[in-house]
Amino acid sequence: MGRPAQQGENTPQESLTVRDNRTGKVYTIPIADNAIPATAFKAMAAPRKPGEREENETEKGLRVQDKGFLNTAVIRSEITYIDGEAGVLRYRGYPIEQLALHSSHLETAYLLIYGSLPTKDQFKFFESEVMRHSVMHSDAEGFFRSFRYDAHPMSMLTSAFAMLGSYYSEANPSLQGQRLYTKGDRASLETMDRQIYRLIGKATTLAAMAYRVRQGRNFVTPPTGLSYTGSFLYQMDHLGEENYTPNPVLEKALDVLFLIHADHELNASCTTVLQTGSSLVDPYSAIAAGCASLYGPLHGGANEAVIRMLISIGSPENVPAFIEAVKKKEKTLSGFGHRVYKTSDPRSFIVRKTADEVFKVTGRDALLDTAMALHDAAMKDEYFIKRKLAPNVDFCGLIYRAMGFPLDFFPVLFAVPRVVGWLAHWRQMMLQDGGVKIWRPRQVYVGPAKRDYVPVEERAPVEGPKQTPSRVEHGGITKRTMLATFKGKL
């Protein structure tokens, strides 16, 4: 941790020397793995200046402010490495390009969760456990039927993950003890692995049930003898045909897309899973929280946004006008640029190859020409080059569209494989040295200083945008009720 440096003291080379100009003190902060502990700055206290707000807590040490976690590391991880400048993505050291070419989603799931590529027997055991745990309790049918016919599938999936936790009391630390998943002994690991099998196995089943609700179809029991993605397609599409088998090209394409979406380090949804999991809640609740985070248009909803953008552009000849509108900030460009990657997303090349294979079976999507025209125009335009807005993986929505999935199902196709990554990071945190500390970020309070309560008759009105509740327009029953007279009306 940081401490004041003594005069004449030899300063370690792997350290950071900080001089606090408020006090003149010099602090030495150790550097490990090119990172410094943020808690070291707590030692850098200073007297409060005359007139300074007490809420700044100056005498309690410095706080590190990092809005949006732009440069904050919250955990030491062995799972996924990303070099955004070079366009590199590796799972446990293996380049994503090699895994997409040679591996499968479930084999990669084993790698992400347990740290190594499985042997033939290890994989056979893992696959059989995942597939064996794909069948849902019959009560789940009533749960899904309770949703409106037009409910968004991500709302259903998020709720379903939370609902799962109610079935397994043995998996709940609130009932079985808070060290249920952190002991690291055999019984603890067995309990943890059982929930991993369940969540990965049932993810496709829950997603398929959400899909069938929207289609007005009866639910399908997971079949035997099919692959993970083959079973998923079967559950979504089977209508009673004898010996039904999904198209192998579509099955393989979905498996590749699942693999490249399985993990992406500490993105918004993974961080949400860990933030929630740090309270030692059951994994089903943590995964549901991650699913809710992924639902947002800045995250898992980006695939859907890309297709809606391409539809709005229409034909390739409209691309130049759209590009100019983007530069004037009149339009939003989706599918380009990434919070991490400052060059092309390495997964985008895999997506392009996968798209070619799918289009051979389904036919070429008319929006592909528009997408390529947009890609070429942006890659040649200095405006986008300067801002490093290269195309990213969100163009895989074209594949989903070609395969016949509705737009609002795209985030589900992102969430199902990402369950693997969420579980890998959750498991790592549960088993980390030193146990689990609840995640409790600091804030920089800039609100009012202490003030005394004012009686209602003495208050002056405070009005203006964002300072008062908005008035909303009422219709139907509410409007007529507001116009009616009745006892107790406010």
Burial of 468 (0-12, 13-18, 19+ CB in 10 A): exposed
Q: Helices 268-277 and 283-294 meet at what angle, rounded to 10?
A: 150
Three-state DSSP string of the chain = CCEECCCCCCCCCCEEEEEECCCCEEEEEECECCECCHHHHHHCCCCCCCCCCHHHCHHHCCCCCCCCCCCCCCCCCCCEEEECCCCEEEECCEEHHHHHHHCCHHHHHHHHHHCCCCCHHHHHHHHHHHHHCCCCCCHHHHHHHCCCCCCCHHHHHHHHHHHHHHHCHHHCHHHHCCCCCCCCCHHHHHHHHHHHHHHHHHHHHHHHHHHHHHHCCCCCCCCCCCCHHHHHHHHHHCCCCCCCCCCHHHHHHHHHHHHHCCCCCCCHHHHHHHHHHCCCCCHHHHHHHHHHHHCCCCCCCHHHHHHHHHHHHCCHHHHHHHHHHHHCCCCCCCCECCCCCCCCCHHHHHHHHHHHHHHHHHCCCCHHHHHHHHHHHHHHCHHHHHCCCCECHHHHHHHHHHCCCCHHHHHHHHHHHHHHHHHHHHHHHHCCCCCCCCCCCCCCCCCCCCCCCCCHHHCCCCCCCCCCCCCCCCCHHHHHHHHCCCCCCC
Pair type for strands 94-95 and 80-83: unpaired
Catalytic position from the list 83, 193, 299, 369:
299
Q: How far apart are CA 245 and CA 226, in angstroms?
A: 8
Catalytic position from the list 133, 375, 394, 425:
394
User: Distance of CA 197 to CAs 109, 126, 192, 251, 457, Å?
Assistant: 11, 8, 9, 21, 61
Q: How far apart are CA 75 and CA 47, in angstroms?
A: 32
**Is 105 one of the catalytic residues?**
no
Q: Are 160 and 140 in contact (CB under 8 A)?
A: yes
**Is 394 one of the catalytic residues?**
yes
For residue 88 the two structure tokens come to 């590199």
**Is 338 one of the catalytic residues?**
yes
Catalytic position from the list 105, 133, 264, 338:
338
> Which residues are part of the catalytic machinery?
299, 338, 394
